[in-house]
Every structure is written in structure tokens, then in C-alpha cells.
Amino acid sequence: MIRTVVRYLAPVIILVLAVALTAIEPFGFNPSYCVAQTVGYESGPLILGPKTALCFVDFQCDVREQFLDLIAALTGRHMTSVKWAVVTSQYSEKLEAALKARNASAEVIHDPEGRLLNEFGITEVPAVVLTSKGQVVYRSEKYIPLHNERLIEIVSCFARGQEIPEAYQDRRLKVGGSTPDITLPDVSGKIWSLKLYKKTKDAHSRLLYVFTIMNCEPCREALKSLKENAHNLDDTEVVVISFGPKKLTMRELERMPLPFIVLCDENSETYAGYHLSDTPTIVLTCDGIITYLSSGWDSSKQQELLRVLAYPQ
């Protein structure tokens, strides 16, 4: 009797399930939105909420305390609308205690093999990744305290379901990307921009941007090398962007005058805006396209840059 009932009811049950699943689809049900593809790290699979903020931190990094303070402030403001998770590869218990001391409502995820770093394409921490329905809508790496105001505004827009302002979209510099859009005063106070520069009589199609802190030793070495090779740069305009107080820039220029355009970015806006991670960062552009990009400075990078500059583009 039971077998007969099951035999007749089975097709009906299958049909009902098929109809139910079809009905669910238009409402956006998608398992991949709920569980990250990376599984098997120590804390188990990461369950993403409709809105999730993933904060990646190395407990030994220099700006750890400032980053955790920011997380505490953000979780306090957006605890109900955003799910918060802090990912670390080590010292998860210390991290959990540090967050608890700040009353930060965030899940701590121990990811010793760095699988989530790879999953979300993170190369430098501290980093923040915002996901909506399983899709990454914002990513910022190599956090510095200068990013605080920007991150607070970005997360506020994210929590309210608003689009992230275009000015805060990922403007990370990359080979093949567009020339940096920079408008800054030079050391005399005159505003310099690429648009204005292109209108000048002696404008070059090839520009070399050097993002620098003038008194850092690697930056000094890079600028010294470029100065010594200035005679080989007739077809290239060198634009130095100096971060920090103008008086520091002027003092360093007295110490080592430069035959280049020197711009003052006292608030380090371009450092934060272009997600720079080190100084000097050197960017070579030709006809509005980035053809070479390098961060940091040593003898091998010096040779590489001089070799690139010697090659006509």
C-alpha cells in the first residue's frame, strides 16, 4: 500500500519542488550570494550577509591600532545594516580581545593559509572589502589613517544602499590605465594640471610622475638619480608630487635643487586617492596611458627605470 502511494505521489512531489524553485528564482535567491567560494579555513565557511564588510588585518602591522579604532567606530554606526568580519592569519585570540576592548561587534575569522586574501585579491593589508549580495562593490588596500574620513563616508553610503561616490571609486594606478588626473599647486603656488600643461608650448607627450616624501632616503636617492640623468630626459617631463608640509618640500629643494616640476600635496590627497602603498612611486605615461609603474627604490629599480626611460615610446 505504502509503495503504491509513494509511486503515485513521487512525480507530484517533484513537480511541486520544481515549481517552487522556479518561483524563488525571480526574487534573487542564489546560493553563491550566501557562502563565499573559499571554504575550509579554520573558522569554517564564511557566510556573507546581504551587506558585508570584510576587514583584513595583520596583527603586527604598524597601523593596527588606528585600523581597529576605525572598525570599532564603523561597527558602532552600522552594526544592524552591515555584517562585519575581521580576517587575520595569526593571533586571532589577541585580535578578538582587542576588538572586544573597543566594543566592536565583528566576527573574527582565523585564516592561517590566507585563502580569503586570495579569494578577494588582497595583496596588502590592512584592507577593506565591501560586498553586496556576494558581489564586491568596493576594495581598499594598504590602509593608512589618512583614509579614515573617506572610508567613513564610503561605508555610510554602502550601509544606506547608495552608490559609492565616483570620487571614491577604485582609482588604483595600473599599467594600461589612464594618466593620473592631478591638480595641485607647484612650489610657487601656481596651480598645475595635466589639462593646463597640455596647452603649454613645450608640452611633452611623455610624463614621468614621481610620488614622494621629500625627506625619505629612498625618495632622495630616486630624485638624485633622475637629476643626474636629466640630460637623457629631453623627451620626458618629470613631475614630482611631494607629500607633506610645503616647508619640508622647500627645505629639501634647498638641499638638492631639482630641474623638474615640483607639486605640493600637503594633505596627501593623491596618496590616498590613488591607493599608493609606498614612496617613491614612479609612473611613466605616454599619450595619456600608463606604460610603467614601480613602487619603492633600490639599485635594481634604478637600472630598470633608466632602461625604460632610454627606450623611445
Listed residue (264, 51, 33) closest to 137, CA to CA: 51
What is residue 142's predicted lDDT score, i.e. its pLDDT? 78
Rg over CA atoms, the chain: 26
Topology match between the domains 33-168 and 183-310? yes
Query: What is the biggest distance separating any 2 CA atoms in the chain, rounded to whole angstroms?
Result: 100
Q: What interhelical angle do 64-77 and 92-101 show, nearest 10?
A: 50
**Tens-of-pLDDT digits for all 313 residues of the chain?**
545 544 555 555 544 444 443 333 333 323 222 333 333 344 456 677 889 999 999 878 888 999 999 999 999 999 889 999 999 998 889 999 999 999 998 999 999 888 888 888 887 889 899 999 888 888 888 787 877 888 899 999 999 998 887 666 666 788 888 888 889 999 999 999 988 998 988 888 899 999 999 989 999 999 999 999 998 888 899 999 999 899 999 999 999 999 999 999 998 888 877 878 788 999 999 988 999 999 899 999 999 999 998 876 5
Asked if 209 and 241 touch (Cβ cutoff 8 Å), the reply is: yes
Tell the CATH topology of 183-310: Glutaredoxin (3.40.30)
Q: Which residues contact 89 (CB under 8 A, 6 or more apart)?
A: 58, 110, 111, 112, 113, 114, 117
Q: How far apart are CA 188 and CA 212, in angstroms?
A: 18
Q: Specify the 3-state DSSP secondary structure of 283.
A: strand
pLDDT (0 to 100) of residue 146:
76
The CA angle 301-194-288, to the nearest 5 degrees, is 60
DSSP 72-94: HHHHHHSTTTSEEEEEESS-HHH
Residue with cell 556573507: 48
* Residue pair 54/132 in contact by the 8 Å Cβ criterion: no
pLDDT of residue 77: 92
Class (C level, CATH) for 33-168 = alpha beta
- Domains of the chain, by residue range, sit at 33-168, 183-310
C-alpha cell at 211: 610620488
